[in-house]
């Protein structure tokens, strides 16, 4: 039980840190090792907490999924052995030919 609580706390703390970074439009260096994220399971736990915080604080909803690192070359470069996946939120989509609000992105 304590392990589950610690895993949740680590994921929640990291998700909150990510929310702060994104809210301030701050770029950041890779952080997994320094924040105690050592496995894909750890990373997905953070992703789940981050998406829950996004839904709670910004009212966004899940609108789709994405998959990345599908080539063996990219997986090898990042020392992983499987593709990764993520959730696309409803505010990540833009109409075909529409304007993309550049202030949402870090230059």
Q: CA–CA separation, 32 vs 47, rounded Å?
A: 12
Whether the model pTM is above 0.85: no
**Rounded to whole angstroms, what are the CA distances from 18 to 27, 67, 82, 88, 100?**
10, 20, 24, 16, 22
Burial readout 49-77 (b: 16 or more C-beta within 10 A, e: otherwise): bbbeebeeeeeeeeeeeeeebeeeeebee
CB atoms within 10 A of CB 89: 16
pLDDT tens sequence across 70-103: 999 999 998 889 999 999 999 999 999 999 888 8
pLDDT tens sequence across 9-50: 999 999 999 999 988 888 888 899 899 999 899 999 999 999
């Amino acid at each position: 039980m304590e392990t589950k609580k610690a895993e949740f706390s680590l994921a929640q703390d990291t998700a909150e840190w990510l929310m702060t970074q994104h809210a301030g439009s701050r770029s950041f260096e890779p952080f997994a090792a320094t924040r105690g994220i050592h496995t894909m399971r750890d990373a997905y736990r953070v992703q789940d907490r981050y998406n829950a915080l996004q839904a709670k604080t910004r009212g966004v909803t899940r609108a789709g999924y994405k998959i990345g690192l599908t080539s063996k070359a990219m997986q090898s470069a990042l020392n992983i052995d499987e593709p990764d996946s993520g959730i696309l939120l409803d505010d990540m989509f833009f109409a075909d030919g529409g304007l993309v609000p550049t202030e949402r992105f870090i230059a």
